[in-house]
Amino acid sequence: MSHSQKTSQTFDRYDCWRPAYEGYALFAWTVGFGYVTWLYLTHRLPLSWCSILWTLTSAFLIKRSYETLKVLTARASLSGSKLTFMTFEELAKIMRGHPNDLWLGIGFRWWPEHSQKLYELMKLDWTKLLLPKWLSNLLLPNQALPDEAAGLPIIHGVSDIDESIFRPLKNFEGGLCLCGTTQAGKGVYLSHLVAQAIARGDVVIVIDPKHSSRLKDNILHACRACGRDDPLTFHPAFPDTGVRLDPMHSFTNATEIASRIRQAFPPNMDESFANFAWMAVNAIAQGLIALEIRPTLPLIAKYVKLGIYDLLEPLLERHARNYAHHDWQRNYSELREKAGRPPMPSVSDRLMVLVALYETELHHLAPDPAIDGLIEVFRHNREHYSKITASLLPILSMLTTGKLADSLSPSITDPHDTRPVMNLEKVINGGHVLYIGLDSMPNPTVASTLAGIWLADLANIAGRRYNLGLSALNSKRISLFIDEVSNVINVPLIEILNKGAESGIQTTCAMQTIADLAHRMGSVEAAHVVLGNLNNLIALRTKDQMTQNFVVETLGNTYIANQSLTINNRASDNLSPDYHSGLSRQMNTELEPIFPPEFLGKLPNCEAIVQVSAGYIYKTRCPILVNQKG
């Protein structure tokens, strides 16, 4: 029976960890081999007889050596494996042989056999099964896990198989969730996944809210090891370095601009306020486009703050020149009376007259959607409008002041700013690697807003790719990586998770706990909406019970065998020989989690349990990527 066919009903229950009794036989056969050699050297037996005895003793010597080694190796495996290291060049070499696969690390496929062994170890004092460190290090390809290291070594030690694990990229089109507590190795796994995407030649976009210098450096080393251009970088705290990244450059219509700005709205904004704010931004964007001015964040912030009067008046002047009677100004006084009171004292009589002209005559003769939207904002209750702008303006001000404004709304004609001007569509078409650090620790509001705007931009690009029939099969694959996803989750990201695979976007979301995600989304149910769109899972050590329950539910259950042994003796009190004894053995099975939840909090650093959407479960460990081995 092959290893892949073993189940909890066929494995050797305790035999794999028993003392190596075969060692005594091995010693005896070694002595026997030596004794035959002594008989030959002292000429006490002829060569023909010695040859027969050598063959016999050698055969049993090899047999017992194999059996002894098998038992000792099984017990040595319980010592686990210490952290290992891998260079970026070594990873690039591995990926050249597997261009269409994802490397999950080093480990083994998890079968019910391994679940059974882990449950059995829970009943034992497993520390008494460990071999001396020197013997374990002699038998294993890697050194044993040190005593001072976090986690239990027996989790990886339930199998003596330790090999590279690959799965087809097709399995990961449904998104990948990477979860683990602080210092469990989440950054190590994420660096590996990003480096592999770079090695495959994908377009790589990394959104890192906390701006990990280690992740940023790893991306740089991976690009150089794979012969690709250095990554493009953007960070709001260091606007003088990196690239200028315009989130408003690519759009099909003005509603896309408004939808991106909507991501800047405070999450607790009333829905009716949010809808009107969207309508106002959409009207401003349409007005700018009608005047052949490219919408930018500073321009939108300007008209939200000061009002749309300077935008509406030139549009109405042009419309009047094109469609009104040449002598319409004869009715100037009558139109001024129809216009009513101005919304603000600063509004000119000329604008009021033009509004009245459009509303009474031109709207019926030649309606204009851009003017209609602006007039709706113009006529809106000013108190209500002020309340909306009071919530929206602080965020827009953060994005449109100082150096950050130049980075988000670049001017290509500025001779003093030599930073490259980029946008996500240009990044994708050029096949670049882009790292976006968001500086969420000192400024979480701006970080969340920036991520929301860019994710909305990427969602629009995904929609256009989908409409054009572009996917990873006939165009560049886009690998999107988001660290600390609870800091940036929004509706566009959910749309990318839900439908992005059709347009060639493979998304990996890393987080610490589901509780963080639930807090951001407002409820556990909303968090599970996000998790439902992540069909693959890499779970490192986690202490959060909600996260543990999610992982256990994802992995599923298996039947675990439990055995009970009963011995009874009975003797008569009289002198007649009347003695009875009995032994009964009972085995039953119970449905249990395939991976015990309590062990999720005891995984060593950089070790994980992996579930792939194709139904495969693996236990893996991930080497730490280094620029060069010391």
| pLDDT 10s digits, 216-227 | 999 999 999 999
Residue 125 shares a structural domain with residue 270: no
Whether 509 contacts 175, CB under 8 Å: yes
Q: Is residue 29 part of a domain?
A: yes
Look at residue 295 and tell me if it is in a domain: yes
Confidence band for 563, pLDDT divided at 50, 70 and 90: confident
- Cβ neighbourhood burial of 224 (10 Å; 0-12, 13-18, 19+): middle
318 and 357 share one domain: yes
Q: Which residue, among 443, 413, 479, 481, has the nearest Cα to 239 in the 3D structure?
A: 443
Q: Do residue 106 and residue 164 come from a single domain?
A: yes
Tell me the pLDDT band of 239, cut-offs 50, 70 and 90: confident
Residue 387 lies in a domain: yes
The backbone torsions φ and ψ at residue 271, rounded to the nearest 5 degrees and listed phi first, read -60, -40
Domain hosting residue 335, numbered range? 254-408
Lowest mean pLDDT among 61-65, 294-298, 373-377, 445-449: 445-449
| pLDDT of amino acid 8 | 39
SS3 199: helix
- Would the pLDDT of 323 be above 90? yes
Instruction: Say what the pLDDT of residue 125 is.
Output: 87
Q: What digits encode the pLDDT tens for the residues 469-518?
A: 888 778 889 999 999 999 888 889 999 999 888 899 999 999 999 999 99
The reported pTM is 0.88
pLDDT, mean of residues 265-274: 73
DSSP string, 126-154: GGGGPPPHHHHHHHSSSPPPPTTSSS-TH
Residue 68 has pLDDT above 70, yes or no: yes
| Within a domain: 390 | yes
Question: Are residues 314 and 372 both part of a single domain?
Answer: yes
| Domain match, 428 and 553 both | yes
pLDDT at residue 279, as a whole number? 92
Most confident range, picked from 232-241, 365-374, 463-472: 365-374
Binning pLDDT at 50, 70 and 90, where does residue 37 land? very high
Number of folded domains in the chain? 3
Which of 368, 384, 408 is the last residue before a domain boundary? 408
Residue 224 contacts residue 230 (beta carbons within 8 Å) = yes
* Whether 402 and 415 share a structural domain: no
pLDDT class for 267, splitting at 50, 70, 90? low
**Weakest-pLDDT range from 45-54, 359-368, 461-470:** 461-470
Residue 240: its pLDDT value, please?
Answer: 78
Are 497 and 602 found together in one domain? Answer: yes
Residue 333 inside a domain? The answer is yes
Taking 70 as the threshold, does the pLDDT of residue 602 lie above it? yes
Go through 530-566 and write b for each residue having 16 or more CB atoms within 10 A of its CB, e for each that does not. bbebbbbbbbbbbebebbbebbbebbeebbbbeeeee
pLDDT at res. 3: 45
Give every CB contact of residue 289 below 8 A, 6+ residues apart in sequence: 254, 295, 370
Note whether residue 197 is domain-resident: yes
Residues 315 and 183 in one domain: no
356 with 481, same domain: the answer is: no
Confidence of residue 574 (pLDDT cuts 50, 70, 90): low
Considering the domain boundaries, does residue 583 fall inside one?
no
CATH number at residue 114: 3.40.50.300
pLDDT confidence of residue 577: 65
- Which percentage of the chain shows pLDDT scores above 70? 95
Final residue in a domain of this structure, among 408, 434, 453: 408
CA distances from 568 to 311, 562, 563, 584 (A): 97, 20, 17, 9
Q: How far is the C-alpha of 483 from the C-alpha of 176, rounded, in Å?
A: 12
pLDDT at 382 over 80: yes
Could you tell me if 227 and 288 lie in one domain?
Answer: no
Last residue of a domain, one of 77, 94, 112: 77
**Distance of alpha carbon 154 from alpha carbon 156, whole angstroms:** 5
- 403/495 same-domain check: no
pLDDT band at 13 (very low <50, low <70, confident <90, very high): very low
Asked whether residue 570 carries a pLDDT value surpassing 90, the answer given is: no
527 plus 499 within the same structural domain: yes
Q: What single DSSP character describes residue 242? A: S
pLDDT in tens, 188-233: 999 999 999 999 999 999 999 988 899 999 999 999 999 999 999 9
Q: Of the ranges 107-111, 433-437, 574-578, which one carries the lowest mean pLDDT score?
A: 574-578
pLDDT of residue 415: 80
Q: How many CA atoms lie within 13 A of 123 on its CB side?
A: 9
pLDDT attached to residue 573: 66
Considering only residues 601 and 580, tell me which one the structure prediction assigns the higher pLDDT. Answer: 601
Whether 580 maps to a domain, the answer reads no
